[in-house]
Amino acid sequence: MNWVNAVVQGLLLGGLFALFACGLSLLFGVVGVINLAHGDFAVLGAYVAVLLLPSTATNALWALLFVPPLFGFFGYLLQRTLLQRSLEISPLTTLLVTFGLSVVVQNGLLEAFSADSHSFNVGSLVTSSFKVDEQLQVSYLRLGVLLVAIAVLSVLSLFLARSRTGIQIRAVADDREAAQMSGVNTRHIVGVAAAIAFATVALAGLAYGMTAQFAPYSGSALLLFAFEAVVIGGIGSLWGTLGGGLILGLAQSIGFQIDPSLGVLAGHLVFLGVLAFRPTGLVPARAAA
């Protein structure tokens, strides 16, 4: 092992975290929902793929075609029903509701699929990589995840900056009532934002399932990583989220390089360090993602 390798692998891992974080960030920025079931929904997405793919031999890349749209639809419905309803009571209620959903999803998956780990079949992609030098190999799959993360963030930024719906989403994030008095159907717009967030969650869950084994309880750790990426990068900034994801990936990878049991802890400590020493901008501004 060498340090260059640790840095490169860390950046690749960071792409996955950024992909996880962007849904969390969007949902909070626009909808005002902190989704404690975020990680569990990602894992649910992976299991939905397991369920719907015709056989375990089918290449899981096909799931990319139908699971994210399915989750987008699911996110829209969830927002328009349960989440909307709980938000009208208070943000803290929403928090508790998503926490309850998290427990329901985890244990539902446990009942349906047992505690055994699953993994996807992605054909030869799982092992193929290119060699930079003797000590540095880059997996096509992991590189692909990072590129997908960058692509998703780019498309999302462009969508929020240019499209009519995107501008309305940002307007709602700024001032929901003012958007309403300008004629924006805020409930629908918030639902659309939730749909996008859920589609990216499903995408992140599939990416995770292709690069690692997943089990019903995997979601909790994923939520924490996504959250850390958001806070490290600066709450409310989409590209900051990418930066936060990369920093978190680096911290875990370098920690792992020092001592394999240190990986996750190093990430947490970097997060706490940011919280302790760079608290400015950490108080969530309800700005657009």
Partner 1 sequence: MTAVPALEVRALTARHGQLTAVDGVGFSVPAGSVFALVGANGAGKSTLLRTIAGLHRPVAGSVHLHGDDVTATGPERRVGRGLVLVPEGRRLFPSLSVHENLRVGLARRRPGQWDIDRVLDLFPWMKERRNQPAGQLSGGEQQAVAIGRALVANPSVLLLDEISLGLAPVVVQRIYGLLPALLTTGMTVVLVEQDVSQALAVADQVQCLLEGRTVLDGVPAQLTGPQIEAAYFGLAGAGR
Partner 2 sequence: MTAPTGASTGYRVRRLRRSALWTALPSAGVVALLAYVPYVLERKVTDTLVDFFILLVLATTWNMLAGFAGLVSVGQQAYIGVGAYAVLVLAQQGVNPFAAIPLAALVCAAVSLPVSWLVFRLRGGYFAIGTWVVAEVFALLVIRFESLGGGTGANLPGLDGFDAVLLGAMTYWAALSVAVLTLLGAYLLLRSRTGLALTAVRDNELAARSVGVRVPRAKRMVYLAAAAGAGAAGAVLVITQLNVQPGNVFSVKWSAYMVFVVLIGGVGSLEGPILGAIVFFVLQRALADYGAWYLIVLGAVAVVMAVWVRRGLWGLLERFDVRVFPTGFWLQAPGGDVARPPRDDPPPAPRH
Residues interacting with partner 2, by CB under 8 A?
28, 33-34, 36, 82, 85-86, 89, 91-97, 99-104, 106-108, 110-111, 220, 223-224, 227-228, 231, 235, 261, 264-265, 268-269, 271-272, 275-276, 279, 282-284
170: contact with partner 1 by CB under 8 A: yes
Which of 33, 42, 60, 179 touches partner 1 (CB under 8 A)?
A: 179
Closer residue to partner 2 (CB): 141 or 266: 266
Instruction: State which of residues 185, 258, 259, 278 lies at the interface with partner 1 (CB under 8 A).
Output: 185
Q: Strands 136-139 and 129-133, how do they pair?
A: antiparallel
Contact between 164 and partner 1 per CB under 8 A: yes
The answer to the question of residue 5 lying near partner 1 (CB under 8 A) is no
Q: Which does 174 bind (CB under 5 to 8 A by kind): partner 1, partner 2, none?
A: partner 1
Q: Which does 155 bind (CB under 5 to 8 A by kind): partner 2, partner 1, none?
A: none
C-beta separation of 169 from 192 below 8 A: yes
User: Smallest distance, Å, CB 257 to partner 1?
Assistant: 40
Which of 86, 94, 98, 168 contacts partner 1 by CB under 8 A?
A: 168
User: Which residue lies nearer to partner 2 by CB, 69 or 268?
Assistant: 268
- Whether the CB-CB separation of 231 and 281 falls below 8 Å is answered with no
Label residues 120-154 b or e (16+ Cβ within 10 Å = b).
bebeebbeeeeeeeeeeebbebbbbbbebbeebbe
Among 4, 132, 147, 178, binds partner 1 (CB under 8 A): 178
* 90 lies in the site for partner 1, by CB under 8 A: no
The least distance separating partner 2 from the CB of residue 124, rounded to whole angstroms, comes to: 36
Q: CB under 8 A: which stretch of 3-11, 45-53, 184-192, 208-216 binds partner 1?
A: 184-192
Q: Which stretch binds partner 1 (CB under 8 A): 35-43, 135-143, 167-175, 219-227?
A: 167-175
Q: Which is nearer to partner 1, 189 or 274 (CB)?
A: 189
- Per CB under 8 A, residues contacting partner 1 are 164, 167-168, 170-171, 173-175, 177-186, 287-288
